[in-house]
């Protein structure tokens, strides 16, 4: 089975973080946090459709300017989500530049910003041609857990405490479609871009009685009932789940929310800034220790986990953090 999401931290555990998640066979990606984005190419940044910022401490948001610079002058709608106060943070960044020439751009960038509050989402649009000055009021809608959803997947949040609100994030595919290549060949069909459309039809929940046409070998068109074709070539398995926990304190409330959000994740990315011997410093700075991170990964039942966001004080002791987290994970599994 080839997973749909291919998450990777954009740099090493001591650098400013971000989790880049490209989608298999699609010219598209999402990103959790915009720390130091330099390791990502312009091409990779342009694939991003949705950005989710856990909190606006500078190490998680400094990469915004590069995304803005690369996206400027393109026909693109970029969706950005962040904690309460996010509009003001982005407006501050936009106010740092002069925009008098952007009216002449043939392609116009639009930013759709969403602030995540306890039980509502506030969305506001910022258009390049208006020099990024919003012309409409923010629109408020109620929400519970899920901040973004489309037919194939959804993104859930937990509002965690890091002395300021910090969003814990999880992306979950509704289900996963695997294609049985042998059955495909037996039907005289070849792999190709039509398979993306076929999978999309399943994700969209299109009527199984509806017709689905496939260009077969020799430019023949074969027609199937969607449900019948799915029965023959598709194997439906549970969807993939990726969770991302950035800066958080170790309060009981945070622990409960993290365990619930990351429940049974295929891969949990979780910060571990300090060693357990420095747990007092960790508490003071509202961060986790490696032991706490490993324990949370085990309690959530995460199948795999990766720690990141190490304090520079451990520059040559990365292995200690890794060992401590691993031991805690094994102990509590
Ligand atoms: Zn922080
Ligand atoms: Zn941080």
Residues 138-180 pLDDT 10s:
999 999 999 999 988 999 999 999 999 999 999 999 988 889 9
Task: Look at residue 57 in the predicted model and tell me its pLDDT.
Answer: 98
Per-residue pLDDT reduced to its tens digit, 94-137: 999 999 888 877 778 999 999 999 999 999 999 998 999 998 99
Q: Distance from the CA of 57 to the center of ligand 1, in angstroms?
A: 5
Nearest to 282 by CA among 299, 259, 307, 316: 307
% of the chain beyond a pLDDT of 70: 99
- Find the range with the poorest average confidence among 11-15, 86-90, 218-222, 259-263: 218-222
Q: Distance from the CA of 149 to the center of ligand 2, in angstroms?
A: 27
Q: In the predicted model, what is the mean pLDDT of the chain? A: 94
Per-residue pLDDT reduced to its tens digit, 82-106: 999 999 999 999 999 999 888 877 7
Q: Distance from the CA of 247 to the center of ligand 2, in angstroms?
A: 6
Per-residue pLDDT reduced to its tens digit, 267-280: 999 999 999 999 99
What backbone torsions phi and psi does residue 255 show, to the nearest 5 degrees? -55, -45
Checking if the pLDDT of 44 tops 90, the result is: yes
Task: Look at residue 54 in the predicted model and tell me its pLDDT.
Answer: 98
Nearest ligand (C-alpha, residue 286): 1
Nearest ligand (C-alpha, residue 16): 2
Which tokens hold the place of 48?
A: 């991003």
Q: Distance from the CA of 13 to the center of ligand 1, in angstroms?
A: 14
Q: Distance from the CA of 81 to the center of ligand 1, in angstroms?
A: 16
Q: How confident is the model at residue 253 (pLDDT cuts 50, 70, 90)?
A: very high
Q: How far, in Å, CA of 123 to CA of 52, rounded?
A: 14
The number of CA neighbours under 13 Å toward the Cβ of 245 is 40
Per-residue pLDDT reduced to its tens digit, 60-73: 999 999 999 999 98
Q: Distance from the CA of 35 to the center of ligand 1, in angstroms?
A: 11
Nearest ligand (C-alpha, residue 57): 1
Q: Distance from the CA of 59 to the center of ligand 2, in angstroms?
A: 5
Q: Distance from the CA of 181 to the center of ligand 1, in angstroms?
A: 46
Q: Distance from the CA of 144 to the center of ligand 1, in angstroms?
A: 24
Q: In 3-state terms, what secondary structure has residue 271?
A: strand
Q: How far, in Å, CA of 74 to CA of 293, rounded?
A: 40
Q: How confident is the model at residue 252 (pLDDT cuts 50, 70, 90)?
A: very high
Q: Distance from the CA of 8 to the center of ligand 2, in angstroms?
A: 17
Task: Look at residue 1 in the predicted model and tell me its pLDDT.
Answer: 65
Per-residue pLDDT reduced to its tens digit, 188-247: 888 888 888 898 899 888 999 999 999 776 777 889 999 999 999 999 888 999 999 999
Task: Look at residue 115 in the predicted model and tell me its pLDDT.
Answer: 98
Nearest ligand (C-alpha, residue 162): 1
Q: Distance from the CA of 37 to the center of ligand 2, in angstroms?
A: 14
Q: Chain centroid to CA 45: how far? A: 13
% of the chain beyond a pLDDT of 90: 80
Q: Distance from the CA of 52 to the center of ligand 2, in angstroms?
A: 14
Q: Distance from the CA of 299 to the center of ligand 1, in angstroms?
A: 24
Q: Distance from the CA of 275 to the center of ligand 1, in angstroms?
A: 17
Nearest to 55 by CA among 321, 309, 281, 322: 309
Task: Look at residue 68 in the predicted model and tell me its pLDDT.
Answer: 96
Task: Look at residue 217 in the predicted model and tell me its pLDDT.
Answer: 67
Q: Distance from the CA of 288 to the center of ligand 2, in angstroms?
A: 11
Task: Look at residue 55 in the predicted model and tell me its pLDDT.
Answer: 98
Q: Say which residues have a Cβ less than 8 Å from residue 225's Cβ, sequence separation at least 6.
A: 208, 209, 210, 211, 212
Nearest to 71 by CA among 59, 83, 81, 79: 79
Backbone dihedral region for residue 145 (phi beyond 0: left; psi -120 to 50: alpha; all else: beta): left
**Model confidence, pTM:** 0.91
Cβ pair 291, 325 in contact under 8 A = yes
Q: Distance from the CA of 319 to the center of ligand 2, in angstroms?
A: 20
Helix axes 318-332, 290-300, angle to 10 degrees: 30
Edge-first strand listing for the sheet containing 241-245: 146-150, 153-161, 165-173, 241-245, 267-271, 305-308
Q: How far, in Å, CA of 211 to CA of 35, rounded?
A: 46
Task: Look at residue 190 in the predicted model and tell me its pLDDT.
Answer: 87
Q: How far, in Å, CA of 330 to CA of 45, rounded?
A: 36
Q: How far, in Å, CA of 307 to CA of 319, rounded?
A: 11
Q: Distance from the CA of 248 to the center of ligand 1, in angstroms?
A: 8
């Amino acid at each position: 089975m080839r997973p749909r999401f291919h998450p990777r931290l954009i740099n090493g555990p001591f650098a400013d973080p971000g989790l880049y998640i490209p989608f298999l066979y699609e010219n598209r990606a999402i990103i959790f946090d915009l720390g130091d984005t330099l390791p990502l190419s312009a091409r990779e940044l342009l694939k991003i459709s949705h950005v989710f910022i856990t909190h606006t401490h500078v190490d998680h948001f400094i990469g915004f300017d590069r995304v803005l610079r690369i996206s400027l002058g393109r026909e693109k709608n970029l969706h950005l989500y962040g904690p309460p106060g996010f509009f003001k943070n982005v407006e501050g960044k936009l106010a740092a530049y002069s925009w008098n020439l952007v009216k002449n751009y043939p392609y116009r960038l639009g930013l759709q910003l969403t602030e995540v509050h306890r039980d509502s989402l506030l969305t506001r649009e910022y258009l390049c041609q208006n020099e990024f000055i919003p012309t409409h009021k923010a629109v408020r809608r109620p929400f519970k857990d899920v901040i973004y959803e489309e037919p194939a997947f959804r993104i859930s949040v937990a509002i965690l405490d890091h002395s300021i609100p910090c969003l814990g994030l999880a992306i979950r595919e509704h289900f996963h479609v695997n294609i049985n290549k042998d059955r495909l060949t037996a039907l005289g069909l070849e792999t190709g871009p039509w398979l993306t459309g076929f999978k999309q039809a399943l994700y969209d929940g299109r009527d199984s009685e509806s017709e689905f046409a496939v260009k077969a070998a020799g430019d023949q068109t074969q027609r199937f009932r969607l449900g019948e074709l799915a029965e023959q070539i598709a194997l439906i398995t549970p969807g993939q789940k990726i969770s991302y926990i950035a800066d958080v304190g170790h309060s009981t409330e945070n622990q409960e929310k993290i365990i619930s959000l990351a429940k049974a994740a295929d891969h949990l990315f979780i910060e571990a800034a300090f060693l357990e011997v420095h747990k007092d410093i960790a508490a003071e700075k509202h961060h986790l220790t490696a032991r706490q991170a490993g324990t949370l990964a085990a309690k959530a039942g995460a199948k795999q986990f990766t720690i990141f966001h190490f304090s520079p004080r451990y520059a040559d002791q990365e292995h200690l953090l890794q060992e401590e987290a691993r031991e805690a994970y094994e102990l509590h599994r």
